[in-house]
Amino acid sequence: MTKDKQHIILKTENLAIGYKSKDSNNVVASNINIELEQGKLVGLIGANGIGKSTLLKTLTKVQNPLQGDVYLNNQDISKYSALELAKVLSLVLTEPIASKNLSVFELVALGRQPYTNWIGNLSKHDIAIVNNALEQTNISELKQKKCFELSDGQLQKVMISRALAQDTDLIILDEPTTHLDMYHKAYILKLLQRLAKDTGKTILFSSHEIDLAIQLCDTLIVMTETEVVSDEPCNLISKGTFNALFPEDLISFDKITGRFKVNK
């Protein structure tokens, strides 16, 4: 008996990503066919420079595909207006925020912009959603602090809160654990795992923390030099997919421990 699939939030069909020049296309990856199910935590992993950021840019309509299609809630993403897209997709980037002089509450409240009137006034409903987002990330006590007073780990939780306040079906994060120590890397990824389960939102993040992603994610998208594959971590381990991530002369994947090891 096969397991029924959850609602598919995002899928790609024969997607090719890369950059166009005057004379030719620089293809980073092609034949990408992935499906992201509702309420799942999905990790995007691969070696440095393999094209993870290019894929995320294409999935979020920041960059056009070279070929193929991206569908969000069964609608071609190219058909969404900017406002429509902001109501179904929220994005957490690694770039510094525009103004760290904002309070935590003010920054999280920016997530309500797709829903507020043209003046930007928050309704009681908006304020309740912002406060709930702060509670979900355990930072309610920081709401009056200025963002410049926060640690990197606290600021990352604020950015996740803002995405929650935006109330979208899909949250995409580009390297959410950059600049964090090992404890806070694990904390942020465990937080994302819990939020996906508790809220029913689909959360996709790119990361170099491959060992943590294998342990915590429902699904992994693995980018190698030759292909992009997506499956449950246990199935990817069985298939030997992780062996293709790095040159075998230096690093190999141990199926028994589920971790990478440096070869002697």
pLDDT digits (tens, 9 = 90+) for 16-55: 999 988 888 899 999 999 999 999 999 999 988 899 999 9
Residue 32 burial by Cβ neighbours in a 10 Å radius (0-12, 13-18, 19+):
buried
Which residue, among 81, 21, 22, 29, has the nearest Cα to 53 in the 3D structure? 29
Q: Which CATH superfamily is domain 1-88+168-264 in?
A: P-loop containing nucleotide triphosphate hydrolases (3.40.50.300)
Residue 5 confidence class, pLDDT cut points 50, 70, 90: low
CA atoms lying within 13 Å on the CB side of residue 216: 27
Rounded alpha-carbon distances, angstroms, from residue 199 to 28, 41, 64, 194, 196: 34, 11, 30, 8, 6
| pLDDT, position 1 | 39
For the chain, the domains span 1-88+168-264, 96-167
Q: What is the pLDDT of residues 62-103, one digit of tens each?
A: 999 999 999 999 999 999 999 999 999 999 987 777 677 899
Report DSSP state, residue 103: B
Q: What is the dihedral of CA 216, 218, 224, 226, to 10 degrees?
A: 170
Assess contact for 259 and 233: CB atoms under 8 A. Answer: no
Residue 183 confidence class, pLDDT cut points 50, 70, 90: very high
Assess contact for 248 and 199: CB atoms under 8 A. Answer: no
Assess contact for 16 and 54: CB atoms under 8 A. Answer: no
Which residue, among 225, 204, 226, has the nearest Cα to 56 in the 3D structure? 204
Residue range 112-122: mean pLDDT, rounded:
84
Q: Calculate the average pLDDT of the chain.
A: 91
Does residue 2 have a pLDDT over 50?
no
11 phi/psi in degrees, rounded to 5: -145, 155
CB atoms within 10 A of CB 224: 18
